[in-house]
Structure 1
Amino acid sequence: MSVTELAPADVWRNRIYSGGWKTGGAGTIAVTEKATGIEIGSVGAASAADVSAAAAIATEAQRAWAATPGPQRGDVLREVARLLQEHREEIARQIVRETGSIRPKGYLEVKLAIREILEGAALASQSTGVITTSDVRERHSVARRVPMGVVGVITPWNSPLILAARAIAPALATGNAVLLKPDPQTPVSGGILYACLLEIAGLPEGLFHVLPGGAETGDALVRDPQVNMISFTGSTRVGQAIGSVAGGLLKRANLELGGKNPYIVLDDVDVEAAASAGAWGSFLHQGQVCMAAGRHLVQESIADAYIESLVRRTSALTVGDPFKGDFHLGPIINERQAENVDRIVADSVSKGAKILAGGSRDGLFFKPTVMVDVVPGMPVFDEEIFGPVAAVTVFKDDDEAVSLANQNRYGLVAAVASSNLRRAQRIADRLHAGIVHINDQTILHEVFGPMGGVGLSGNGHNYSTLTNADQFTEWQWVTTRDDLPAYPF
């Protein structure tokens, strides 16, 4: 079974999905294999007019969907999860080709997307409100959750299947319609695939739209008055622009943005275990993860041993085409991003940082890199890299570790490694981050814990089983009485 057999290529080639498969108004987008640059397909690009038309269709379809019994909405999503499981091999391979991730990451993404969808489906069977108290005996008072209406979802290219699932599933389960704009670099695994799956699973027509495109398409989605909410995962720069527009329109915007995440290694750890976790946190998916370990903060008494272990592990990693072999790292997503990694490394070296491993590339294949003597003020300390670079900064004591960790405006994830849990918790309590892990690295993704950041990493609207019901609905207060009361006027 292949992705194209879920929906034959001649059905979706050069098309968008909006009330069926149709030609987009903004031309086409090539789908490429990132390791080779080979074109493996093409999809339609949505214009602003396409967005407006899709929003009108979705607005109409959403009313009947919201009135559909919740368990029936959940059944559609459970069927999507079953289809993902059935076709996981081909879907994972599509992710590998389209994103440049290694094979295990592709399989993990399918597994996590299935869990996101199943947990989202469960929302459809949960209570939708409560009976509240009232100080008037004859008044019956209820607070209930009602759908937002039409939800615009804008997703990135690095984990397109998961990051779409975590918004699509709870939005549909709670009675909304969805307009999805996948990143133009991953329009199949991040969008077209879900159109195929939901159509096969029996989702009524008009509730789900896939509108590939660039900045103009995204801007039209944010500004459309028929779109009631925006769910965005991506860069801080774009998130700030979306937040500004949405705020002016008094429109809800859930923003999960970039990170420059500290991995704090205290002097009482197992150094080999800590270095292994740190390497994984920096190099998984070529470091192209918002939760990547961007800064290794290591206590000075173990710094030499930690660096030696990290360099040894880094030097043993292989880089190559993940679709053709079992490599540890695949390609950077595109030349622009690779050039940015080059810039950050070179500028940091010019300011005094040293490269102990890697530091060079062959096209999009960037060698995993370890840099030391890194201090605040260097790009490798201050900027999100989105590349396979582990930057090591040495600290003297716990207070300095906290100061260094909090020394930027990001606040997505932080991690602390220590054999003394009370000490680690005291540090964790002082960290400016939406997520903190003790005795683990920074890249953890589960639907059960709130996912989201503070500062430049987001606006605190988190995705999780704890928060999704509130994120994708709004409260409505309803009171009833048997008769109209008497008033003085």
Structure 2
Amino acid sequence: MNQYFLLNKSYMNGKWVEGETRRIYHDLNPFDDTVVANISIASKAQLDAAFEAASEAQKKWAQNAELRKSVIEKVIAYFKEHQQEIVDVLVLETGSSVLKGNVEVSFVIADLEESLKIVNEVGTVKIVESAIPDKVNKVYRLPLGVIASISPFNFPLYLSMRTIAPALALGNTVVHKADLQTGISGGSVIAKAFEEAGVPSGVFNSILTDIPEVGDTMITNPHSKLISFTGSTGVGKHIGKIAGELLKRTALELGGNNPFVVLKNADIDQAVNAAIMGKYLHQGQICMSINRIIVHENLYEEFAIKFVERAKQLPYGNPQVPSTVIGPLINHAQIEKVLGFIEEAKKDGVEVLLDGKREGNILTPFIFGNVDNESNLARREFFSPVVSLIKASTDEEAIQIANDTEYGLSSAVFTNDLTLGEDVAVQIEAGMTHVNDQTVNCLSNIPFGGMKGSGIGRFGNPWIVDEFTQAKWVSVQVKPINYPF
């Protein structure tokens, strides 16, 4: 057995501890439903204790930039040394292909390396010109305190570390809750890396628990100063409402209905290549995955034929086989949900360009054509290998269709006119738009985040510094003021 599946406990205050609920969560391999780990579920009291430990450890951690740097450097070395074992965990626990698993670990290493660049941002002092005579204005950059991190099942390792690495680099401490479906890769692997790196007790805490036990404690605990959440828009709104009432900060990266726009002068073959990658990486279970492909009517038929033909050829099956592209969806409930969307679309008479199938826990690609952007099919985030093709009569209409959604996370534009492409990219209402590339892009030094219903806040250096720290004004009056009374 992979050693990481034995790490089935929470990591709190520097120790691995059994959950006090005495309940066990059976962590399943989504491909064949075999149990990969029996996770001991932590109690609400244990979660509260983790926040206490994080609060007690925070000030000392914030004061030692050299220690923060040393720990992060050792964590980077750990991931590089153990990459193959960690990829194996991602494949078995999340249904990731070998390619996707390696991409995810590379993203983690990149974010850790970028975080080293911001270690010294905390404690910096900026002198600001004063309109008041003989007053020196200083602005200090300080940590927030304890950050509550909640991560999803789809990219569990990376979407956890994207918060954890900069939060710790900037002198905060972290209480982290991974989705139990991927509690080992999204929680325990990270905890083990930081333990081996010598992180002080209480600085990083990974709690394996569930919502029935802890409810909204990650948000409401008085020690949590910011809630970082990646997941559905519905849950994000719930978190935002509670956090707003408590005047707490949030960093919310939420759902997407990401458009892939093919303008009338695009290179069709390259657009098809990009669309296949942006739709079917990790079976479409990525917040940035292509959901709607909007094609100018002059290119629509040729694009549809080529796209369908490529999708038919994608290898599917056991993700442990390196050539596999389409693996399982995360659980049976998600499979049934997606099949419900598909059946509804068929009953509504939507054109089926490629009728996929269910084989075990795998759905092969489904492609719908001439989809109405007002339809239920076009309005939903699939999180599966299902995609809608939409015809646009003009480039202007393509932009309008792309923007006609409550979401605004990622997007892409294909054209041979790069000036036009960039102009259209700016017009698309999304936090990220890629010209002549697909929608699933991520770099550690860009402002990653969405517009509209796709979230609040930006990850990436240097934008994350403002998110995860606070500015404090200290003024020094060097000569006495003559007050008017």
Q: Per the shorter chain, which TM-score range?
A: over 0.9
Paired position in structure 2 for 1:388:
385
Paired position in structure 2 for 1:57:
53
* 2:160 pairs with 1:147: no
Cα distance in 1 for partners of 2:73, 2:2 equals 19
Letter of the structure 1 residue corresponding to residue 68 of structure 2: R
* 2:68 pairs with 1:73: yes
Correspondence 1:412-451 to 2 at 5 A: 412-451=409-448
Paired position in structure 2 for 1:115:
110
Cα offset, 1:213, TM superposition = 2.2
* 2:152 pairs with 1:138: no
Letter of the structure 2 residue corresponding to residue 420 of structure 1: D
Cα distance in 2 for partners of 1:183, 1:354 equals 36
Output one character per residue of 1:124-160: Cα deviation in whole Å (capped at 9) or x when no partner: 0347331111123432211111100000000001001
* 2:319 pairs with 1:322: yes
Cα offset, 1:482, TM superposition = 4.6
Q: Is the 8 A contact 1:65 1:176 kept in 2?
A: yes
* 1:41 counterpart SS class: strand
Cα distance in 1 for partners of 2:42, 2:11 equals 7
* 2:390 counterpart SS class: strand
Q: Is the 8 A contact 2:432 2:448 kept in 1?
A: yes
Output one character per residue of 1:153-195: Cα deviation in whole Å (capped at 9) or x when no partner: 0000100111111110110011000000001110011011111
Paired position in structure 2 for 1:366:
363
* 1:429 counterpart SS class: helix
Task: Report the aligned-residue RMSD.
Answer: 1.7
Paired position in structure 2 for 1:241:
238
Bigger shift: 193-202 or 352-361? 352-361
Cα distance in 2 for partners of 1:361, 1:194 equals 34
Cα distance in 2 for partners of 1:357, 1:369 equals 5
Cα distance in 2 for partners of 1:262, 1:196 equals 38
Q: TM-score, normalized by length of structure 1?
A: 0.95
* 2:34 pairs with 1:38: yes
Correspondence 1:148-167 to 2 at 5 A: 148-167=144-163
Cα distance in 1 for partners of 2:451, 2:79 equals 33
Paired position in structure 2 for 1:187:
183
Output one character per residue of 1:418-440: Cα deviation in whole Å (capped at 9) or x when no partner: 00112222322221111111111
Which residue of 235, 252, 260 maps to 1:255? 252
- The change in CA–CA distance for 1:304 and 1:429 in structure 2 (over 3 A counts) is same
Cα distance in 2 for partners of 1:112, 1:60 equals 31
Letter of the structure 2 residue corresponding to residue 111 of structure 1: S
Cα offset, 1:21, TM superposition = 1.3
Correspondence 1:148-297 to 2 at 5 A: 148-216=144-212, 217=214, 219-297=216-294
Cα distance in 1 for partners of 2:46, 2:381 equals 34
Structure 1 vs Structure 2: percent identity of aligned residues?
A: 35
Q: Is the 8 A contact 1:352 1:373 kept in 2?
A: no
Paired position in structure 2 for 1:406:
403
Cα offset, 1:219, TM superposition = 1.4
Paired position in structure 1 for 2:82:
87
Q: Is the 8 A contact 2:119 2:169 kept in 1?
A: yes
Output one character per residue of 1:440-459: Cα deviation in whole Å (capped at 9) or x when no partner: 11111111211100111002
Bigger shift: 53-62 or 353-362? 353-362
Cα distance in 2 for partners of 1:53, 1:307 equals 55
Q: Is the 8 A contact 1:32 1:38 kept in 2?
A: yes
Cα distance in 2 for partners of 1:230, 1:488 equals 45
Paired position in structure 1 for 2:18:
23
Cα distance in 1 for partners of 2:160, 2:5 equals 22
Letter of the structure 1 residue corresponding to residue 76 of structure 2: A
Q: Is the 8 A contact 2:149 2:175 kept in 1?
A: yes
- The change in CA–CA distance for 1:358 and 1:121 in structure 2 (over 3 A counts) is farther
Q: TM-score, normalized by length of structure 2?
A: 0.96
- The change in CA–CA distance for 1:303 and 1:176 in structure 2 (over 3 A counts) is same
Output one character per residue of 1:28-62: Cα deviation in whole Å (capped at 9) or x when no partner: 32222111111111222222222211111111110
Gaps of 5+ in 2: none
Correspondence 1:462-477 to 2 at 5 A: 462-477=458-473
Q: Is the 8 A contact 1:16 1:46 kept in 2?
A: no
Cα distance in 1 for partners of 2:2, 2:242 equals 36
Cα offset, 1:257, TM superposition = 0.1
Paired position in structure 2 for 1:338:
335
Which residue of 345, 348, 354 maps to 1:348? 345
Cα distance in 2 for partners of 1:157, 1:59 equals 27
- The change in CA–CA distance for 1:409 and 1:441 in structure 2 (over 3 A counts) is same
Q: How many residues align?
A: 482
Cα distance in 2 for partners of 1:173, 1:36 equals 39
Cα offset, 1:412, TM superposition = 0.5
Cα distance in 2 for partners of 1:402, 1:35 equals 38
Paired position in structure 2 for 1:101:
96
Q: Is the 8 A contact 1:16 1:43 kept in 2?
A: no
Letter of the structure 2 residue corresponding to residue 266 of structure 1: L
Q: Is the 8 A contact 1:25 1:45 kept in 2?
A: yes
